[in-house]
Amino acid sequence: MWIHFLVFIVTFCFMEFMAWFSHKYIMHGFLWSLHADHHKKDHDSWFERNDAFFIFYAVVSIGCFLLWQKNILEIGLAIGLGIFAYGLAYFLVHDIFIHQRFKLFRNANNRYAKAVRRAHKMHHKHIGKEDGECFGMLIVPLKYFKK
Ligand SMILES: [Zn+2]
Ligand SMILES: [Zn+2]
């Protein structure tokens, strides 16, 4: 049983790498057209074209869940739940806490909350596709904890 828990944790951590990688090389790469409206909003909808990446990972997560349910991949449940948990954490931290898509946790001001917001605001200082920084989310460079 504990192996499932281990795979869940490893999947969660691996997703931070995937988030960083897809943000840096795909969203700021050949799929910039889908990510651009997260940097410079050009419409009034609550939804962004950028949400497509969320849907992509949700589909992967559901796929793993189905593989488990159909008895094709026993570890699929742990992987699917790991991806789901990361997606949820990403949404809570990035979309709600930092970008306030729902007006919640506005006053969170522990050291981690401040650092993660400061780091992501640095990412948003750049409006274009090139010269970005801080592509990760939950892992924050140490320098943003200072002061
Ligand atoms: Zn970006
Ligand atoms: Zn953002």
Q: Model confidence over 42-91: pLDDT tens digits?
A: 999 999 999 999 999 999 999 999 999 999 999 999 999 999 999 999 99
pLDDT, tens digit, for every residue of 27-46? 999 999 999 999 999 999 99
Q: How confident is the model at residue 147 (pLDDT cuts 50, 70, 90)?
A: low
Nearest of 100, 102, 146, 137 to residue 24 by alpha carbon: 137
Q: How confident is the model at residue 125 (pLDDT cuts 50, 70, 90)?
A: very high
Which ligand has its closest atom nearest to the C-alpha of 120?
Answer: 2
pLDDT score recorded for residue 68? 98
Burial pattern 42-59, b for ≥16 Cβ within 10 A else e, equals eeeeeebbbbebeeebee
Domain ranges of the chain: 2-105
Q: Measured between alpha carbons, how far is 140 from 145 in angstroms, rounded to an integer?
A: 8
Distance (angstroms) between ligand 1 centre and the Cα of 129 equals 8
Distance (angstroms) between ligand 2 centre and the Cα of 70 equals 36
User: pTM of the entire structure?
Assistant: 0.95
Q: Measured between alpha carbons, how far is 39 from 33 in angstroms, rounded to an integer?
A: 11
pLDDT score recorded for residue 146? 80
What is the SS3 assignment for 81?
Answer: helix
Distance (angstroms) between ligand 2 centre and the Cα of 94 equals 6
Six-digit token string for 124: 């948003």
Distance (angstroms) between ligand 1 centre and the Cα of 68 equals 33
Distance (angstroms) between ligand 2 centre and the Cα of 137 equals 9
Distance (angstroms) between ligand 2 centre and the Cα of 3 equals 34
Distance (angstroms) between ligand 1 centre and the Cα of 27 equals 7
